[in-house]
């Protein structure tokens, strides 16, 4: 009999609290406040699938402040699961309702921003979409907090410029997420580049 592993990794003990940088702007996603001395955790499965609500409940119970819930998925291959699309929005609503936790979701194109309105509390611009300026502008106009993940080969200046597109639309609720970059190292998927 194979023992089933929990889908949740408790990150809290791995992330040290760091004092906020003087002059930094706090960003709120639901009740979670980013940019203070406390480090809230955003967690959840890579994609929303039929078991998402159960995963979301376990993730919230483990202490996640914001649930990741991506119904649109950019994949390397067109032959792999691309997400449930708009059919997954009801699962976001159910997870948010049952856990009380806010949800962050990833639009892949400007029309997805409107589709996610009312279902997501924040938008995640993924690493593959970081250079998509129409998407960045649409996210900026949404009025929702926006997290911009660093692209696989993006320089710091390019990453900050991506966030500037959101800011230029009047949305100051922007955060940057360092996900690491691609290197020739094969032991890890991404290499932290600080």
* Within-domain flag for 119: yes
Burial grade of 90 (CB within 10 A; 0-12, 13-18, 19 or more): middle
Instruction: Supply the CATH number for residue 147's domain.
Output: 3.20.20.70
Query: What pLDDT band is residue 188 in, cutting at 50, 70 and 90?
Result: confident
User: Residue 107 and residue 93: Cα distance in Å, rounded?
Assistant: 16
Dihedral (C-alpha) 18, 44, 169, 142: value to the nearest 10 degrees? -140
User: Residue 115 and residue 113: Cα distance in Å, rounded?
Assistant: 5
Give the rounded percent of residues in the chain with a pLDDT score beyond 90: 64
pTM as predicted: 0.84
CA distances from 12 to 40, 41, 149, 163 (A): 8, 7, 20, 27
State the residue range of the domain holding 170: 25-177
* Within-domain flag for 162: yes
* Within-domain flag for 192: no
Number of domains in the chain: 1
* Within-domain flag for 15: no
DSSP state letter for 155: -
Q: What rounded mean pLDDT belongs to the chain? A: 86
Structure tokens at 42: 């955003």
* Within-domain flag for 126: yes
pLDDT at 21: 57
* Within-domain flag for 158: yes
pLDDT at 23: 66
CA distances from 136 to 83, 122, 131 (A): 21, 13, 8
Q: What is the pLDDT of residues 64-74, one digit of tens each?
A: 999 999 999 88
pLDDT at 20: 53
User: Residue 107 and residue 145: Cα distance in Å, rounded?
Assistant: 13
Q: What is the pLDDT of residues 115-168, one digit of tens each?
A: 999 999 999 999 999 999 999 999 999 999 999 999 988 898 999 999 999 999
* Within-domain flag for 182: no
Q: Which run of H or E residues covers position 72?
A: none
pLDDT at 74: 85
* Within-domain flag for 1: no
Q: What is the pLDDT of residues 78-125, one digit of tens each?
A: 888 888 999 999 999 999 999 999 999 999 999 999 999 999 999 999
pLDDT at 16: 43
pLDDT at 13: 36
């Amino acid at each position: 009999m194979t023992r089933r592993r929990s889908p949740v990794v408790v990150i809290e003990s791995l992330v040290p609290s760091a004092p906020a940088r003087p002059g930094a702007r706090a960003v709120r996603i639901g009740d979670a406040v980013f940019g203070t001395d406390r480090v809230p955790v955003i967690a959840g499965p890579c994609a929303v699938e039929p078991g998402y609500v159960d995963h979301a409940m376990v993730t919230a119970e483990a202490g996640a402040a914001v649930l990741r819930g991506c119904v649109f998925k950019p994949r390397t291959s067109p032959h792999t699961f691309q997400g449930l699309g708009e059919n997954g929005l009801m699962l976001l609503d159910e997870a948010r309702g049952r856990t009380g936790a806010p949800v962050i979701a990833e639009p892949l194109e400007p029309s997805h921003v409107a589709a996610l309105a009312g279902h997501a509390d924040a938008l995640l611009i993924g690493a593959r979409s970081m250079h998509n300026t129409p998407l960045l502008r649409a996210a900026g106009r949404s009025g929702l907090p926006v997290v911009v993940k660093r692209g696989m080969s993006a320089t710091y200046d390019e990453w900050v410029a991506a966030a500037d597109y959101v800011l230029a639309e009047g949305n100051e609720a922007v955060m940057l997420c360092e996900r690491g970059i691609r290197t020739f190292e094969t032991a890890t998927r991404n290499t932290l580049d600080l």
